[in-house]
Structures are given as structure tokens and as C-alpha cells.
Amino acid sequence: MNVGNRNTAGLTIGVLALQGAFSSHQRAFERVREGVRTRQVRLPRDLDGVDALAMPGGESSTMSQLLGSSRLFDAIATRIASGMPVFGTCAGVILLAKSVLDGRDDQRSFAALNATVRRNGYGRQIDSFEADIVVAGLHAPFPAVFIRAPIIESVGTDVEVLATHGGVPVAVATDRIVGITFHPELTDDLRLHGLFVDRIVGSLATNRR
């Protein structure tokens, strides 16, 4: 299934492969657009040549520790500062947020998204749920899967809210960052991966012409 009509041949999206359903993200990106390639990112050298990065769900404090022990944290921070687009889902939003509530004292974030995020905002694993949500730019509701999801408590004026659930933002974006509190990779719906490619990564292909 190809969504949209941008020329994305040769684009490489790195997928942080420390925890979570990173393989599902890879399959989604490779299906959503012809020519898009993915690469698992576990070490700083894996970032070489990637045009964008996806940060999947997982346990955010553990991911923070693994980013440090693998020496990936500083390497990713440098790439984000230089303009690398990032697609963060669930724990990925926590890693991107400027402010994290209920995190460990030693937990680090990239502070790339001007938002305040609360870990496990909807409760424990047993409180996981599914809901159809309306997302800006999509013509039909998206089947969202929330698993120990964070809550975006506030966003800055530079952050666009793409979707809400119960009056709370669940999908937000800036010019280079897309943050989603649920798990689009756990559905067969590729539209949010396509939205990222169209909105952010696709612009890189345009600039190369």
C-alpha cells in the first residue's frame, strides 16, 4: 500500500531498535511508500546516512538508560539539533518531550518537542484501550491502540495538535517532529507513517532535486 504521491526513492529512515515494536515500524515505513528503506539503529554508527529517525514505544526510563550505555543519546541529540526529522510513538514522545512528569530522577529526554508529558498517564497495562480518533489530514478516523500510554499535558505555541482524545492531545507535530502517544505500528493502518513521510521526510526528497 502506497499512501500519497511524493517521490521518496532513496530515503532511509532509521528505527531505534533498543526496545519495543521496532520491526513493526520498519514494515510500516517500507510498505507505505515505494523506495523508502529502513535501518535498525543500535549504535551511533547506525545513524550514518539516515534521513530521519523513528522512536518506538517501550519503557522510557529503560530506553533512556540504554541510549546512554550505547552512546546513542549524544549522537541522536546532535542529529536532532541539526534538523533530523523524528517520529516518536508512546515512549518515543516521552524521550522527545521538553518536560517529563513522573519520570525517574536520572531519566533524560532530548527536549526536542515543546511539550509536557506524563508517563503512564492513562494508568497501568490493564488500563490499555483502543479508540477511533480524528487526525488532521486524514479523511477517516484512525484506530488508535493505547498501551500504558503517556498523556501530553501541555504544548507550546510552536506545536500543532493533530488529534485529541477526551480533550487531551494524542498526536502533535512541529516542522520536524511528530509525536504520537499511541501505537500506530500495531494496526494495519499505515496513514500516520505516511503522514510522517509526506509532512517531514518527503521535504528532504524535494530539497535534493
Number of domains in the chain: 1
pLDDT in 10s for each residue of the chain, 209 residues: 444 445 666 789 999 999 888 999 999 999 998 889 999 999 999 999 999 999 998 888 888 889 989 999 999 999 999 999 999 999 999 999 999 998 677 778 999 999 999 987 675 655 578 999 999 999 999 999 998 889 999 999 999 999 999 999 999 999 899 999 999 999 999 999 999 998 765 556 445 55
Residue 118 lies in a domain: yes
CATH number of the structural domain spanning residue 202? 3.40.50.880
Residues known to be catalytic: 90, 183, 185
Residue 24 lies in a domain: yes
Q: Is 180 within 8 Å of 171 (Cβ atoms)?
A: yes
Residue 7 lies in a domain: no
**Grid cell at residue 178:** 511528530
Residue 142 lies in a domain: yes
For residue 106, what pLDDT is reported?
75
The SS3 assignment for 48 reads: coil
For residue 57, what pLDDT is reported?
85
Beta-strand pair 52-55/129-133: unpaired
CA–CA distance, 87 with 195 (Å, rounded to integer): 10
Q: Please name every residue paired with 142 in a beta bridge, in sequence order, or none if there are none.
A: 133
For residue 201, what pLDDT is reported?
58
For residue 1, what pLDDT is reported?
42
Rounded to 10 degrees, the C-alpha dihedral 183/59/100/13 comes to: -50
Residue 107 lies in a domain: yes
Residue 4 lies in a domain: no
Residue 63 lies in a domain: yes
Residue 1 lies in a domain: no
CA–CA distance, 32 with 43 (Å, rounded to integer): 26
**Residues of the domain holding 87:** 12-208
